[in-house]
Structure 1
Amino acid sequence: MVVTNIPENAPAHCPGPDTEQAGKASACAGCPNQNICATTPKGPDPAIPLINERLHQVKHKLLILSGKGGVGKSTFTSQLAFAFASDENTQVGVVDIDVCGPSIPKIMGLEGEQIHQSMSGWSPVYVQDNLGVMSIGFMLPDPDDAVIWRGPKKNGLIKQFLKDVDWGELDFLLVDTPPGTSDEHLSITQYLKESGIDGAILITTPQEVSIQDVRKEIDFCRKVKIPIIGVSNLYNEGESHTIVTI
């Protein structure tokens, strides 16, 4: 299994992305997120109370993570959303925070759709009555347009997806993330910290290069204290996959 290759005594040396020592402690030397953590403004974000209020009717929030791109993360997110929404009494939302590579609109059959605004905020694009989606893909004039944004602008959009979208009452909010453990991951963790993240599902494939990257994602979850509730090990044998509960 993937998890057995992770040392049990892995050091929890990260001071945390929202502490005064973030990016400055000796343990931060060599970390790819050192500059991000060091330059991120510290102290309470005034948007956090607004996010908490907007999401207070969301029962469960799940992050879909992977260390490597192209392992089926967005496909898994969409299929899990459709599975939850197969019960018409279950309300489901999907927020796509892969700002530079949004694939959720295409995977979920929503290409060409646009975001609409009402008095209560942005309205998600609905696949069906109980399944809403939000993605930057709905804002692009052409789906082939490149999004060339630096970290602060990407983080600002993620914040808007959480505080300005009228998600309403949801049983599940699934967050489809980009590969890696960088800007978007730190932002979503910070913004949802107070309202609560129920856990993360990690996506990988059996190849060693993919497993190597998902180990980093496991370490990220440990450092930011997100429970890992499962691993999906996708492989090319028909339509099958395996979910491993941790």
Structure 2
Amino acid sequence: MNDLELIDDYFSGRLPVEERARFETSLQTNSQLADAVAFYLLARQAAQNEARANQKARFETLRKKSASVRPMPVRSRIALAACLLLVLGLGGYWFFQQQTPSATELADQYIQQKYSRLTTTMAEKSDSLQLGVNLYNDGKLTEAGAVFSDLLHRQPNDDRALKLAGLVSLRTGRYDQAIIFFHRLGEQTDLFANPGLFLEALTRLKRGQPTDNHQAEVLLKIVIGHNLEGKAEAEELIRKL
């Protein structure tokens, strides 16, 4: 497989999670691959721009054709306008209230509902974790993050500390760092329950960079397909995206 095929598979969500991780690691050190990704994204953007230009041209052609059609009688136009006003008056408010929230808004709603406070069971049998959770729940996120970072310095693979440090980064808007923590958590295969992939997907939805929504959807489908922690929430998010 050449680089462009690999890149297309990555951005199309066709790479398995292990190959996706290897691709992201290579991207950080392989300048040729980085250049190829930049070319791919520019080419895709150009194709999208061309498609929009073609669509605009077709619309302009239809508009000119419609302008040559015999105008509707005044009486008919008044009746049509009255019907439209009636429809808008009855249903307009409902329509605008029912607009689908963006992926970022969905993620933000979920974060506020589920992670504005932490349960104390996350820190049982650990004084350091308990201190960090207490600080987190008191809104002292910077101090909580320092506690979790210190714990990770001593125990780099502690799954609870990775999750908590990731949540602090997520809540404080440091999305790149949160993704690193959750990705490291998601790579641990010996846990009874692992929310890493789900939390990484949630963070990507919140960050909202050009490829984040697609990558988040891929992660959510993996969570659902492999019955991982966060499956029910992932199914709900997938329905709303």
Same fold (TM over 0.5): no
From the two aligned structures, give the one with the greater strand fraction.
1
Greater relative contact order: 1 or 2 (C-alpha under 8 angstroms, separation 6 or more)? 1
From the two aligned structures, give the one with the greater helix fraction.
2
**How does the TM-score come out when normalised to structure 1?**
0.33
**How does the TM-score come out when normalised to structure 2?**
0.33
